A and B are shown apart, each in its own frame.
Chain A
């Protein structure tokens, strides 16, 4: 299982803050997982498009496209941060 979290604008446009899914076959890293989510179409395709400034964290550490994703991981998707 993967625990996927969405924050801020993404949580609103995707209509959910969290979901649990089975690790999709063939997905090994962040880029792969993002591409798999995009295949859902609609808001997923738009919000997670490569041209959008989406940030990803794996197990609460900032990740990159080639960061590994393993069964049991917590993967979060969110816009660039705006605190302070």
Chain B
């Protein structure tokens, strides 16, 4: 006999963090996160995509390097910080590493909550913090050769507005 599922247990949600080379299916990821949880009233998502132009130069491909171990730890810390600020149900962060081509998906952040305000804000917060705190580095292949992408002051400013 199945135990009755307590609504509070469903609403507790989960935090899932994955770093891998493989692409992700946004629809499938969101469906898996929502599955059976009637406490979710809002789902906000962000998808970062590889462009073919950066700083005025054509980008043929991107290679993403990371710091295995610290990456997952840093992302978990960012997720904990979001949970401390907003009433959230689920947090999913998927970040790809390795070689990517223009139009490829790079990163996915999905946040679920009872109401939209929390999800919208937390999703933006997570991306702002990820861009300044998580140890990923991009290297671009351009017609002039390969180059490491420089950090942007605008990203620091975006993260600082949450302080």
Binary interface profile of B, 67-78, with partner A (CB < 8 Å = 1, else 0)? 101100110000
Q: Is A76 an interface residue (CB 8 A)?
A: yes
Q: Which residues of A contact B69 (CB under 8 A)?
A: 60
- Interface of chain B, main secondary structure: mixed
- Interface of chain A residues 46 through 84 with chain B (CB within 8 A): 53, 57, 60-62, 76, 78-84
Q: Which residues of A contact B106 (CB under 8 A)?
A: 84
Q: Is B130 an interface residue (CB 8 A)?
A: yes
Q: What are 10 inter-chain pairs, A to B, with CB distance below 8 A?
A: A8-B148, A60-B69, A76-B67, A78-B137, A80-B150, A81-B133, A83-B64, A83-B66, A84-B130, A84-B134
Q: Which 7 A-B pairs rank lowest in CB-CB distance, beginning with the nearest?
A: A83-B136, A80-B151, A8-B137, A60-B70, A84-B131, A82-B149, A9-B148
Given contacts A7-B67, A81-B134, A83-B130, 7 further A-B contacts (CB under 8 A): A60-B73, A61-B70, A78-B137, A80-B150, A81-B151, A83-B134, A84-B107
